[in-house]
Amino acid sequence: MEFFDEVVNKAKEAFDVASKKTNEVVSVQKLKFEAASMESKLSKDFETLGRLVFDGQQNHVDHGDSIAALIEEIRVKQEKLASLKDQILKMKGKTLCAHCGAALQTGAMYCSFCGASVQAGAAEASEQAAE
């Protein structure tokens, strides 16, 4: 009977681990979908911005207020996209190299792409943020 209880407990543990992993994968995929949607919206906004600028130059029309509002919308969407990408990296257990921007495993000492010291890059980034 003890053997059977141990097998059941191990099966429950395996199920819990599999369930947790599945939830993580689903969460990452949802964030990726949201990021892709945000990138599509940004692309459309940039196209609209270009059309406004072109129309203004072509027809000597002042679209200054529309352009300023659209630029603010783009800035907000870019911040949201950066936040989504950061969340995805964290969920995957990764960070960004401050030197080249490559995705790295959390805890890496050196960037596997550019060779920069991750800790030195983090110190530089914090110094720039302080200025």
What mean pLDDT value characterizes the chain?
A: 85
- Tokens 């130059």 belong to residue: 57
Task: Round to whole Å and give the CA distance between 110 and 119.
Answer: 8
Phi–psi pair at 110, nearest 5 degrees:
-135, 150
End-to-end CA distance of the chain: 67
Look at 4 and 76; give whichever has higher pLDDT.
76
The predicted-structure confidence for 63-110, as pLDDT tens digits, reads as follows 999 999 999 999 999 999 999 998 998 888 888 888 888 888 878 889
Angstrom CA distances, 9 to 13, 16, 17, 21, 85, stand at 6, 11, 12, 18, 37
Burial 88-125 (b: 16+ CB within 10 A, else e): bbeeeeebbbbbeeeebeeeeeebeeeebbbeebeeee
pLDDT digits (tens, 9 = 90+) for 16-51: 777 777 888 888 899 999 999 999 999 999 999 999
